[in-house]
Amino acid sequence: MSEKFDVIVVGAGPAGTSCAYTAAKNGLKVLLIERGEFPGAKNVMGGILYRKQMEEIIPEFWKEAPLERPVVEQRFWFMDKESMVTTSYKGLEWAQEPYNNFTVLRAKFDKWFADKAVEQGALLINETVVTECIVEDEKVVGVRTDRPDGEIYADVVVLADGVNSLLAKKLGFHKEWKPEEVALTVMEVMKMPKGSINERFNVEDNQGVSVEIFGESTKGALGTAFLYTNKDSINIGVGTTLSGMIKKKMKPHQLLEELKSHPMIKPYLEGAETLEYLAHLIPEGGYNSIPKLVGDGVMVIGDAAQLVNAIHREGSNMAMASGKMAAETILKAKELGEFTERNLDSYRTDLYDSFIGKDLKKYKDAAHTFEEHPVYFEQYVPLMNRAMSTMFTVDGTAKWDKQKKIMNSFTAGRGKLGVAKDLYRAWRVVK
Amino acid sequence: MNILVCIKQVPDTKIIKINPKTNTLDRSSAPAILNPYDAHAVQEAVRLKEVHGGKVTVLSMGPPQAKVAIKKCVEIGADEGYLISDRRFAGADTLATSYALYKAIQKLMDEQGIDLVLCGKHAIDGDTGQVGPGIARRMEIPPLTNVIKVEEVDLKEKRMKVRRKIEDGYELIQSELPCLLTVEKEINDVAYSPLPNMIKAARYNPIVWTVDDLDDVDIKQLGLKGSPTIVGKMWPPEKSAGAEMIDGDVKKQAKALVEHMLEKRELFEVKGGEKV
Ligand SMILES: Cc1cc2nc3c(=O)[nH]c(=O)nc-3n(C[C@H](O)[C@H](O)[C@H](O)COP(=O)(O)OP(=O)(O)OC[C@H]3O[C@@H](n4cnc5c(N)ncnc54)[C@H](O)[C@@H]3O)c2cc1C
Ligand SMILES: Cc1cc2nc3c(=O)[nH]c(=O)nc-3n(C[C@H](O)[C@H](O)[C@H](O)COP(=O)(O)OP(=O)(O)OC[C@H]3O[C@@H](n4cnc5c(N)ncnc54)[C@H](O)[C@@H]3O)c2cc1C
């Protein structure tokens, strides 16, 4: 029989690497298997990395990690065809240690992070695809890869293989995701001189901006677009639930092209040159879609476990936190001497008790509700825009009359009761 | 059979950009890879080892990052890897490179014996194809370049037979051992490495030597000092105009081709296929 490890982690994204790092640091013999040419080679993320969960793995990582810019301003744009209503918060406390969050390019970041796990003693092998878990007596005992002599064994296999998680599916932990459980996102990295970024976004060299865009950017479908500033490039992308794309018969690249040429966006992109075009799924099923997380000798973490808070675009942080919790559970199970589902189950309970379980529970009906009731994205965003336009256009109409007109425009389509219901429904799912 | 393979880490010239101002390679624009020809050389060494036994050792001169290329060779099946790395090697042209490699090979020869040295046909960045023959000359062993097949190895009689690619076919050559081969890609397919090799490579730490680890080195022959090559000017090759495809049956194609050539060379005053 070939070599045996304490832990095999499949996938060197934020989830897998966090798990490998924590396990190796605590003396376990860890094998981290990645299918890409190197970790991050094909990984896709809008680009916001949260300080808190990363810091819990590597304190003061910002002193060393390849980050782009600390985000000092978060903007929200509610866009109609030729207008937008905006709101934002900018705070210079975010421009100083310990910062709040950062923009990153995953190809650089993931590689750096995986190298850190290797420094802790994890063995990393790239360009190797895990094809399935080896199951003996209903217990996962290792993995099979696409390489010759490709079987390798471990006490625990941790599945961090991202959104599709074919491996967990093969084990019967979940079914094929439904179109409303995943969002299809496309994005581009566009080269832009540092000076132009600073000027256009009104920041200094080491300050970044995140922009979330709602409404026309997804043609009213449930989803968002984003624009994030890197050091000398920007990330722009858009995504909606797969079901939204299907319903509206939209093609993702077309959505992105339209976004890029939207009059509210275009001036920001002047002269920018596309470096990369990327497409990826985001698991957005939330709380109700979390699959079976633990079995005998196996655990599921990160996107593979649907751990994404779509409303707050948090995914990488949940991936990291879940990876760390999984590693800590393995350490405890090692003391108990057995890696049964029972001994590994504290990972599941820890996860549900943490901010991950709580936040996903809080929004468990949000996506579903907004999907069922498209009024929020389709109608209220344009209405908001028209309201602002009416209010601030000086045309001799008295403000009282304007307010009445605005109120009427809100209730015209849906009736007073309808609006009240919409508001109540929205409040209920995000309260 | 102990086989030594010289390998070089190179920027991936398929995607590298050229700095338009200086006309030099912008090395940061492309990832560093194992010189593709060298991968075939290592694969051939591994294949020969499987048949004749022995050991495959790889040797590279380069910066510390070149360890990654050596590890890649362990994935392919090399047993051991040495990196000679030292500021004093820097700036070497082919003469100084082959001298430094030769000095390391001499030391390995003394320590473990070497029956065969393999190199790639050329490195995809420097492209000269001179390092292999340079090493052979210094070792005073026969250089067999452009090898596409190893026909036979006779360890008892200390000789081997190989096919060399030549312009209009191949040449069958017999040489004494040890000798040095530079290999073409046709020599084999680099196999998809088995998982145990991948794990071994992930763990492997190449042995690093500095100038001081080598014996009887003439410092004047190393690095920039030992490099008489002067780069006069560099420029990217002119882009050739788009090719024209000729279709039709053989007769038609031949006719079109002849017409085209006559026209281009302005012979017989042919224009549009007609004599004018
Ligand atoms: C466009 C977009 C924007 C996003 N924006 C943000 C954001 O701003 N902030 C945020 O926090 N989150 C964001 N997310 C979500 C975030 O990217 C994910 O939640 C996060 O990457 C999950 O990490 P992971 O390690 O679980 O999975 P991944 O990052 O997907 O990593 C999985 C890894 O496993 C490897 N792998 C897969 N299958 C196999 C196999 N069979 N064998 C070997 N290796 C395998 C893959 O190559 C990959 O390296 C965004 C996602 C997208 C698509
Ligand atoms: C005109 C010119 C100017 C140059 N100027 C400079 C300069 O100023 N500074 C500078 O740093 N470089 C310079 N170089 C590059 C340097 O000379 C070569 O990269 C190096 O000497 C190897 O030659 P090559 O790349 O042509 O290899 P080739 O001779 O084409 O390589 C053939 C084979 O030799 C072996 N081999 C080659 N190099 C190595 C190595 N380093 N370690 C192990 N095996 C090896 C491999 O098996 C390879 O497949 C220059 C090259 C040229 C052609």
Which of helix, strand or coil describes residue A142?
A: strand
Pick from A130, A107, A109, A106: nearest CA to A32? A130
Indicate if the pLDDT at residue A1 is higher than 60: no
Give the distance from CA A235 to its chain's centroid: 14
Which range has the worst mean pLDDT, A31-40, A173-182, B50-59, B185-194? A173-182
Query: Encoding tokens for residue B95?
Result: 């003469």
Question: Hey, are the CB atoms on A152 and B203 less than 8 Å from each other?
Answer: no
Pick from A193, A197, A205: nearest CA to A95? A205
Q: In whole angstroms, what is the distance from residue B253 CA to residue B247 CA?
A: 6
Q: In whole angstroms, what is the distance from residue A428 CA to residue B254 CA?
A: 79
Number of CB atoms found within 10 A of residue A89's CB: 10
pLDDT of residue B270: 65
B72 backbone dihedrals φ, ψ, rounded to 5°: -60, -40
Chain A residues touching B194 at Cβ < 8 A:
147-150
Residue A300 bridge partners (DSSP): A159
Percent of chain B with pLDDT over 70: 96
Q: In whole angstroms, what is the distance from residue A359 CA to residue A339 CA?
A: 29
Residue A208 bridge partners (DSSP): A71
Mean pLDDT across B78-91: 96
Which range has the worst mean pLDDT, A127-131, A239-243, B59-63, B120-124? A239-243
Query: Tell me, what DSSP letter sits at residue A380?
Result: I
β-strand pairing of B116-120 with B80-84: unpaired
Q: In whole angstroms, what is the distance from residue A301 CA to residue A348 CA?
A: 10
> How far apart are the CA of B131 and the centre of ligand 2, in A?
7
In a domain, B247, yes or no: no
pLDDT of residue A86: 96
Chain B residues touching A125 at Cβ < 8 A:
195, 198-199, 201-202
The pLDDT-based confidence of B272 (bands split at 50, 70, 90) is: low
Number of CB atoms found within 10 A of residue B128's CB: 15
In a domain, B203, yes or no: yes
pLDDT of residue B262: 79
Q: In whole angstroms, what is the distance from residue A166 CA to residue A173 CA?
A: 10
The residue count of chain B comes to 276
Question: Hey, are the CB atoms on B198 and A128 less than 8 Å from each other?
Answer: yes
Which of helix, strand or coil describes residue A91?
A: coil
Number of CB atoms found within 10 A of residue A228's CB: 27
Q: In whole angstroms, what is the distance from residue A15 CA to residue A159 CA?
A: 9
Q: Does ligand 2 lie within 6 Å of residue B146's CB atom?
A: no
Q: Does ligand 2 lie within 6 Å of residue B43's CB atom?
A: no
Buried b (16+ CB within 10 A) or exposed e, A30-45: bbbbbbbebbbbebbb
In a domain, B274, yes or no: no
Query: Encoding tokens for residue B265?
Result: 């060379």
Domain region containing B36 = 2-221
Residue of chain B with shortest Cα separation from A124:
B202
Ligand 1, residue A17: give the atom nearest the CA: 25
Indicate if the pLDDT at residue A2 is higher than 90: no
pLDDT of residue A3: 83
Q: Where are the alpha helices (DSSP H) in B53-189?
A: 67-76, 94-112, 131-139
In a domain, B229, yes or no: no
Buried b (16+ CB within 10 A) or exposed e, A104-135: bbbbebbbbbbebbbebbbbbbbbbbbeebbb
Report pLDDT digits (tens) over A331-379. 999 999 999 999 999 999 999 999 999 999 999 988 778 878 888 888 8
Ligand 2, residue B118: give the atom nearest the CA: 47
A24 backbone dihedrals φ, ψ, rounded to 5°: -65, -40
pLDDT of residue B260: 82
Report pLDDT digits (tens) over A89-111. 999 999 999 999 999 999 999 99
Ligand 2, residue B135: give the atom nearest the CA: 34
Q: Where are the alpha helices (DSSP H) in B89-194?
A: 94-112, 131-139
pLDDT of residue A222: 85
Q: In whole angstroms, what is the distance from residue A162 CA to residue B114 CA?
A: 48
Which range has the worst mean pLDDT, A127-131, A152-156, B125-129, B156-160? B125-129
Candidate from A42, A43, A102, A105 with most ligand 1 atoms within 8 A of CB, to mutate: A43
Q: In whole angstroms, what is the distance from residue B8 CA to residue B69 CA?
A: 7
Q: From the DSSP assignment, how many helices (H) and strands (E) are in chain B? A: 6, 15
Q: Is B85 left (phi over 0), alpha (psi -120 to 50) or beta?
A: beta
Instruction: Please report the ipTM that was assigned to this predicted complex.
Output: 0.87
In a domain, B195, yes or no: yes
Number of CB atoms found within 10 A of residue A280's CB: 20
Chain A residues touching B193 at Cβ < 8 A:
147-148
Question: Hey, are the CB atoms on B193 and A31 less than 8 Å from each other?
Answer: no
Q: In whole angstroms, what is the distance from residue A170 CA to residue A291 CA?
A: 12
| Domain count for chain B | 1
Cβ atoms of residues A6 and A154 within 8 Å: yes
Report pLDDT digits (tens) over A176-209. 999 989 999 999 999 999 999 999 999 999 999 9
Residues 6+ apart with CB under 8 A from A56: A320, A321, A324
Q: In whole angstroms, what is the distance from residue A405 CA to residue A416 CA?
A: 14
Give the distance from CA B185 to its chain's centroid: 10
- Taking CB atoms and a 6 Å cutoff, what residues make up the pocket around ligand 1? A 10-16, 33-36, 39, 42-48, 129-130, 160-162, 185, 187, 237, 239, 280, 282, 302-304, 308, 313-317, 319
Which of helix, strand or coil describes residue A53?
A: helix
Query: Which residues on chain A place their C-beta less than 8 Å from a C-beta of chain B?
Result: 2-3, 31, 123-125, 128, 145-152
Q: From the DSSP assignment, how many helices (H) and strands (E) are in chain A? A: 15, 17
Cβ atoms of residues B165 and B37 within 8 Å: no
Query: Encoding tokens for residue A173?
Result: 């932990």
Residue nearest to atom 31 of ligand 1 (CA): A13
Chain B residues touching A34 at Cβ < 8 A:
none
Mean pLDDT across A219-231: 92
Q: Cis (ω within 30 of 0) for the bond into A98?
A: yes
Percent of chain A with pLDDT over 70: 100
In a domain, B253, yes or no: no
pLDDT of residue B193: 97
Indicate if the pLDDT at residue B61 is higher than 80: yes
Which of helix, strand or coil describes residue A59?
A: coil
Cβ atoms of residues A303 and A186 within 8 Å: no
Query: Tell me, what DSSP letter sits at residue B194?
Result: P
Chain A residues touching B198 at Cβ < 8 A:
125, 128, 147
Give the distance from CA A84 to its chain's centroid: 25
Question: Hey, are the CB atoms on A145 and B199 less than 8 Å from each other?
Answer: no
Q: In whole angstroms, what is the distance from residue B53 CA to residue B47 CA?
A: 10
The mean pLDDT value of chain A amounts to 94
Shortest Cα distance from B74 to chain A (angstroms)?
13
Q: In whole angstroms, what is the distance from residue A329 CA to residue A346 CA?
A: 6
Cβ atoms of residues A219 and A190 within 8 Å: no
Shortest Cα distance from B197 to chain A (angstroms)?
9
Mean pLDDT across A237-266: 93
Q: Is A43 left (phi over 0), alpha (psi -120 to 50) or beta?
A: beta
Higher-scoring residue by pLDDT: A32, A218: A32
Q: In whole angstroms, what is the distance from residue A376 CA to residue A390 CA?
A: 20
Could you list the beta-strand ranges (E) of A104-201: 123-125, 130-136, 139-145, 151-159, 182-191
Indicate if the pLDDT at residue B79 is higher than 80: yes
Ligand 2, residue B41: give the atom nearest the CA: 47
In a domain, B271, yes or no: no
Question: Hey, are the CB atoms on B192 and A3 less than 8 Å from each other?
Answer: no
pLDDT of residue A426: 81
Q: In whole angstroms, what is the distance from residue A106 CA to residue A67 CA?
A: 9
What is the residue whose two structure tokens read 């105009």? B241
What is the crossing angle of helices A341-353 and A355-362, to 10°? 60
Residue nearest to atom 27 of ligand 1 (CA): A162
What is the residue whose two structure tokens read 């981290």? A32
Report pLDDT digits (tens) over B217-270. 999 999 999 999 988 887 777 777 778 888 889 999 998 888 888 777 776 676
In a domain, B254, yes or no: no
Question: Hey, are the CB atoms on B199 and A3 less than 8 Å from each other?
Answer: yes
DSSP H/E element including A75: strand A71-79
Mean pLDDT across A52-58: 97
Cβ atoms of residues B143 and B132 within 8 Å: yes
Residues 6+ apart with CB under 8 A from A169: A175, A176
DSSP H/E element including A181: none
Cβ atoms of residues A32 and A18 within 8 Å: no
pLDDT of residue A341: 97
Domain CATH code at residue B104 = 3.40.50.620
